[in-house]
Amino acid sequence: MSLPGLTLTEKLGLAALHRCDPEKAHGLSLWALRAGLASLPGVITSARLETRLAGLALPNPVGLAAGYDKNAVALAPLMRSGFGFLEVGAATPRPQPGNPKPRLFRLSEDRAAINRFGFNNDGACEIAARLALRPKGPVPVGLNLGANKDSTDRAADFAEVLATCGPHVDFATVNVSSPNTERLRDLQGRAALAGLLAGVVEVRAGLSRPVPVFLKIAPDLTPAEIEDVAEVALSSGIDGIIATNTTLSREGLKSEHRDEKGGLSGAPLFEKSTRVLAQLSRLTEGRLPLIGVGGITTPEQAWEKIRAGATAVQVYTAMVYEGISLAAKLARGLELIAAREGFARVSDAVGTGRDRWL
């Protein structure tokens, strides 16, 4: 199945953005959304698309990954953009500028991007205030939790952000998999991860309403490390795993920017992230829902993630090349594929094709 072509307005908009510095283009795209310059489809849903994720009711299983709306400044238009759920952030306890610029690179030949932002954000208090004012609607909004670069207790940072923002979100994600904060990925080890998640779950217990907590992991873990993550996640009381964040691998890239430091996202990540997803699906045996992220551009690729074990999927980098209309195209494409394959609901296909990725 091929995606419908871009509208003339979207083609012109993307062409203009691609003539700008990538980080400036990122900011301009958010401004355009807030200014109402994009044609938005509203909520995309149907009986076949409706999905339950850790107690959340999703209109459809296509979500926006963290990193696009870092500071929760465009929630209203994003909720009308066709996504079934949104994840903003990452947020850290204190505001921080992130790493020096330039720190975002388009790899157009590879349909990819490399970033080394380093959790640049306005801080948990400012982001919480925006989340508190977000419009109500059927699209759940979650927050990616991060740690300050200069923190002496990064595990405590995650709990602090949840305490500050938890009353205003529908879910939260513990992000220990960004490669752009030094030694952050060390928190994916069994003992460190268990302690960190225990602190987050303790804070979650004190919130006025239950908030599902997800764990976002890297695609560069060994099979043994993936097994450790699965065991800790199952015993910790969290509600799901997001697989995966960006990769440090540069295998097969063509772009002149291929050797830039940072995390690689986009098309080259698809197979690697899907294999990690399938391994987690085998290890967790349906006891935790999984969210598949990495390299999704077409409905067929979203379908492959679901068949590999994902209850829902997330996209971000592909929007650089396909525009904001990608969310609606993926959701409608999933609906058509499920009908063609004889599934009453997209969610009925979760894990049905896992073995081909193991």
Cβ count near 183 (within 10 Å): 7
pLDDT in tens, 118-156: 999 999 999 999 999 999 999 999 999 999 999 999 889
Q: How far apart are CA 269 and CA 159, in angstroms?
A: 30
User: Of these residues, 178, 255, 325, 347, which one is catalytic?
Assistant: 178
Mean pLDDT of 163-191: 82
108 is catalytic: no
Q: Where are the domains of the chain?
A: 8-350
Give the model's pLDDT for residue 187.
73
Asked if the model's pLDDT at residue 186 lies above 90, the reply is no
pLDDT in tens, 248-302: 999 999 999 999 999 999 999 999 999 999 999 999 999 999 999 999 999 999 9
Question: pLDDT tier at 176 (50, 70, 90 boundaries)?
Answer: confident
Give the model's pLDDT for residue 175.
86
Mean pLDDT of 159-169: 98
Give the long-range contacts of residues 246-253, CB within 8 A, separation 24 or more: 246/115, 246/178, 246/179, 246/218, 246/219, 247/218, 247/219, 247/220, 247/272, 247/273, 248/179, 248/220, 249/219, 249/220, 253/107, 253/110, 253/112
Task: Report the top-level CATH class of 8-350.
Answer: alpha beta
Asked if the model's pLDDT at residue 177 lies above 80, the reply is no
Question: pLDDT tier at 184 (50, 70, 90 boundaries)?
Answer: low
Whether the CB-CB separation of 94 and 240 falls below 8 Å is answered with no
Give the model's pLDDT for residue 189.
74
Question: pLDDT tier at 3 (50, 70, 90 boundaries)?
Answer: low
Asked if the model's pLDDT at residue 4 lies above 80, the reply is no
The values of phi and psi at residue 306, to 5°, are -65, -45
Whether the CB-CB separation of 130 and 173 falls below 8 Å is answered with no
pTM of the predicted structure, to 2 decimals: 0.96
Q: Is 194 exposed, middle or buried (0-12, 13-18, 19+ CB in 10 A)?
A: middle
Whether the CB-CB separation of 336 and 325 falls below 8 Å is answered with no
